[in-house]
Structure 1
Amino acid sequence: MCVNYRPPTPEQFGTLGAFSDLPADWRWPEETWKDYLAPILRLDADGRPSACLASYGMVPRRQIPPEIKPFDTMNARAESLGERRSFAPAWRRLQLCAVPMAWFYEPCYESGRAVRHAIGMQDESLFYVAGLWRDWPEADGTVTSSFTQITINADEHALMRRMHKPDDEKRSLVILPHDEVNDWLACTDLELARSFLRHYPAENMRDWPAPPVSRKAVETSPNFELF
Structure 2
Amino acid sequence: MTTPVPNPRSTPQSSVRTATGRSPAANWLIPAGLVLLSVVPVAAGSLRLAELAGGPPIVPDGDRVTAAPVALVTHIVAVTVFSLVGAFQFAPGLRRRHRAWHRAAGRILVLCGLLTAGTGLWLTLFLPPAAVDSELLVAIRVVVSVAMAACVLVGFLAVRRRDFAAHRAWMIRGYAIGMGAGTQFFTQLAWLAVVGPVTASGRTGTMAAGWLINVVVAEWVIRRRAVAGRRRHDAVRVS
TM-score, normalised relative to structure 1: 0.29
TM-score, normalised relative to structure 2: 0.28
Higher relative contact order (CA 8 A, sep 6+): 1
